[in-house]
């Protein structure tokens, strides 16, 4: 499972859609999570006010392990388990843990969620799921299964919802203004189809506090964390925007009209001075929403 926020297609890792090779996307997923680290760090600081000294933290749908590492940094006394259905992504996470020096208290768990969590040796004090629940057909049942793997008093935190990223002004100087809004609409349609085609898919109103309560947990807060990387962005962030828009074009080309396809092609042409490779107005602006709940003692 992965934390791919920008593209609501077989989405950042999970009960993966069959046409997505998440292992092949490891570098892009890792970069995306690193770019989003300022927002994630604020979210973890917020969680740390409720979860003070966790013994076990589980990152459910960990992808390449960037957030797992942030948990290890935020909670230096905790053991962190990265759980994902993609073994190549877990190998990436293990390599990252060794490089950053927390592999002595880091482990991985391979398997489809939520079933893989039955293999945990003991309950979690904090279970984090970043954009992985919406890749599970029966989200209500998944949250209940997650809740069952919490220790009494343990916290389940899910990152779902928020606002889709923006990278460019509404009017970029060519093509029809509002390109990213139209891409959002196409992505929402694809996301709805992805949800409908999941095994055992159940339609749910996305009232996450209510769903957490239905899982037997006490909702203790919801907050959104802004990711604001204004122009001009560093080269690595610019390269990531290029990668995101390239994948957007590859996935959604057939759903966009000819004018928008031509605009995307021009934005992605490194020889064009008005492409995202060269534009001074490229930025990243997004909102990440986290819902947290506690298992009663």
Residue 20 binned pLDDT confidence (cut-offs 50, 70, 90): low
Q: What is the pLDDT of residue 19?
A: 58
Indicate the pTM of the whole model: 0.92
57: part of which helix (H) or strand (E)? Answer: strand 56-60
State pLDDT tens for residues 25-73.
Answer: 888 899 999 999 999 999 999 999 999 999 999 999 999 999 999 999 9
Angle at 184 between CA 180 and CA 188, to 5 degrees: 170
Alpha helices per DSSP H over the chain: 26-35, 37-48, 66-74, 87-100, 139-148, 179-197, 208-214, 235-252, 258-267
Fold of 23-294: Rossmann fold (3.40.50)
State pLDDT tens for residues 249-290.
Answer: 999 999 999 999 999 999 999 999 999 999 999 999 999 999
183 backbone dihedrals φ, ψ, rounded to 5° = -65, -40
Residue 22 binned pLDDT confidence (cut-offs 50, 70, 90): confident
Q: What is the pLDDT of residue 164?
A: 94
Stretch among 7-11, 42-46, 72-76, 97-101 having the lowest mean pLDDT = 7-11
Rounded Cα distance between 87 and 291, Å, is: 28
State pLDDT tens for residues 177-196.
Answer: 999 999 999 999 999 999 99
The domain locations on the chain are 23-294
């Amino acid at each position: 499972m992965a934390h791919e926020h920008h593209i609501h297609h077989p989405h950042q890792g999970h009960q993966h859609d069959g046409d997505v090779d998440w292992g092949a996307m490891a570098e892009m997923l890792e970069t995306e999570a690193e770019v989003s680290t300022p927002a994630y760090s604020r979210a973890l600081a917020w969680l740390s006010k409720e979860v003070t000294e966790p013994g076990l933290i589980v990152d459910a749908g960990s992808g390449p392990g960037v957030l797992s590492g942030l948990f290890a940094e935020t909670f230096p006394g905790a053991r962190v388990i990265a759980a994902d259905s993609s073994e190549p992504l877990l190998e990436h996470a293990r390599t990252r843990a060794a490089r950053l020096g927390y592999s002595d208290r880091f482990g991985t768990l391979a398997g489809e969620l939520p079933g893989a969590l039955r293999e945990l040796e003991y309950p979690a004090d904090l279970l984090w799921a970043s954009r992985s629940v919406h890749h599970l057909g029966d989200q209500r049942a998944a949250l209940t299964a997650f809740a069952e793997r919490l220790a009494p008093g343990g916290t389940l935190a899910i990152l779902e919802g928020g606002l889709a990223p923006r990278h460019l002004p509404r009017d970029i100087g060519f093509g029809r203004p509002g390109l990213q809004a139209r891409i959002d609409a196409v992505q929402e349609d694809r996301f709805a189809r992805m949800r409908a085609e999941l095994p055992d898919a159940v339609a749910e109103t996305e009232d996450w506090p209510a769903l957490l309560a239905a899982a037997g947990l006490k909702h203790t807060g919801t907050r959104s964390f802004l990711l604001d990387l204004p122009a001009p962005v560093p080269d690595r962030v610019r390269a990531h925007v290029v990668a995101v828009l390239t994948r957007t074009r590859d996935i959604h080309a057939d759903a966009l009209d000819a004018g928008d396809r031509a605009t995307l092609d021009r934005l992605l042409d490194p020889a064009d001075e008005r492409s995202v490779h060269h534009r001074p107005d490229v930025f990243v602006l997004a909102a990440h929403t986290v819902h947290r709940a506690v298992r009663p003692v």
